[in-house]
Chain A
Amino acid sequence: MNLHEYQAKEILQQYSIGVPQGVLVHNPEEAMLASKTLQSDRVVVKAQVHAGGRGKAGGVKLCKHAQLVETAAAMLGIHLHTAQTDQAGKLVRQVWVEEAVNIAHEYYLAILLDRSQHCISFMLSTQGGTDIEEIAKTSPQDILQLAIHPSAGLQAWHIRQMAFFLQLEKQHQRQFSTLVRQLYQAFCQTDASMLELNPLVRTQEGQFIALDAKFSIDDNALYRQKVIADMRDFAEEDALEVKAAQYGLNYISLDGDIGCMVNGAGLAMATMDMIHLKGSRPANFLDVGGGVSQDTVAHGFRLLLEQNHLKAILVNIFGGIVRCDLIALGLIEALKTHDLHIPLVMRLVGTHEKEGRQLIEDAGLAVLWAHDLDEAAQLAVATHGESS
């Protein structure tokens, strides 16, 4: 789960980590209130969207205090197109306005779940405020990666290693040490998967401030992070994906026009790959999963049938736990209220497959049967676009 910058900063503040003073603004009236609250000569107006690369796209603007309201008002309501958004871009519904700081140096500091070393790792660079992946390519020696062994936890020598790497002067080291300990604690206590401060700033006054913060929380841990879970901004997520999740479906929107329903994430990905191999593109990833109910399956079918741009549907079920007759019943139920206006290819194999096929045939549904995944993908691509 991703958090907005302003939410990340709210959490960091709770851990006594320095952040610029800021106000969340949704409209010109709130902007005017913000201009009374914030006292600095210059302010920064930042679009609050779940996408990186805001700066280059005009989503981060430094301006004089007097221009706060007009800058905020101009940014609200626009669609921000960054390197990380799709064609539609992200609608800017809210901006975070904060006091500008006097930057002495910008660092990069991130904490992440290191799956290669099976631990939490720190990543640091003296070059903050830039694209870290560029640095990794062009000057990898400017990046320090430090694995924190789970048995040891964060230790003083780790922090010394970081401080020496960042070439911190003696008078800044103590504050840096406290900052790192607090960040690590925040990361662990919130079940984070990623916390990136780019940049972490040392101000001319000698303070360490998190100028930007990207904070992601492990989805598997949300059940025990209720406060954070409540911060979720569903408006930043794909509407179909959110709707599907409410029905207990694992759904991801893609850019093609062949709808998919599969049981199992690996098989679902392989099904998408097969569609690609056969020359077309899937409209979605949909994993109905092991414990699925007839109701859930029906919801899944409705979700697919309601998308007018779909030209075919491919159902690939290799049922171990999932029962094929359940899939059939779900389809039949969905078709009570929705028309089957596009080709439906079904590969239904496994538990109760005979019963499943029988149910569909008895209902007189125009299904194109496939024996294996290759045939299913072939059929789906061949017939897509033909109306049934």
Chain B
Amino acid sequence: MKVSFLIYYQKNEPISYLKSLIDRCTKKEEINLEEIQLVKSIQEGDIEALGKIFELYKHRALRTVYLITGDKYISEDIVQEAFVQCYFSVKDLRKPEHFKTWFFKMLTRMAWRSIKKEKKIIPTEEIMEKVDLKENSYSLEEGFVQAEQDKKIYKEISKLDLKHQTTIILYYYNELSIKEIAKVMGCLEGTVKSRLHNARNKLKDALEKLDEKEGSNRKESGTFEIYKTI
């Protein structure tokens, strides 16, 4: 199927941005030969190979689960269990090159089950209170405004239903392609696109309402105008 893209851009827009845009639309799964070899070794029971895979995936895995669950302790438990399950179940993975999506599929399912089991998502107000602005190097007034904006955006993300939330996290944080997200979530690529689109619209609406409610004029930062334009 031939697909045409009509892209409007300003002259000073970096080409790299356009390339990344096109890549994200048509990205194939990256094949990492070293990783494939490690996965095959784990399939043969090599626990040291699991250690190397752990080093490659640990940060992304833990932070993805934390973004979904909002609980540090539960996130650690889930990630630990995921790697243990990975060791025992990876024999069933017929194509080692699909390890990334296979692993994230298992991880997200475990995170979802945990949320349903715990029957709660920790209120974002509680989490937000723990954010130390100094740790994020926000010392100027502008930085404070930015930090507040980040808080609001995450708060609204966490209010989305699990599937929309996970789609947003996998796309923007993990930078998975549409195809990869479809495999992780066990749905069609069209569904992923639809969820992304709906999630973005919901976020924009929510943030716009929030801004209007607060009555704050963010013209200087350009944020208010962004939502208005859309």
Whether both chains belong to one complex is answered with: no
B→A interface (CB under 8 Å): none
A→B interface (CB under 8 Å): none
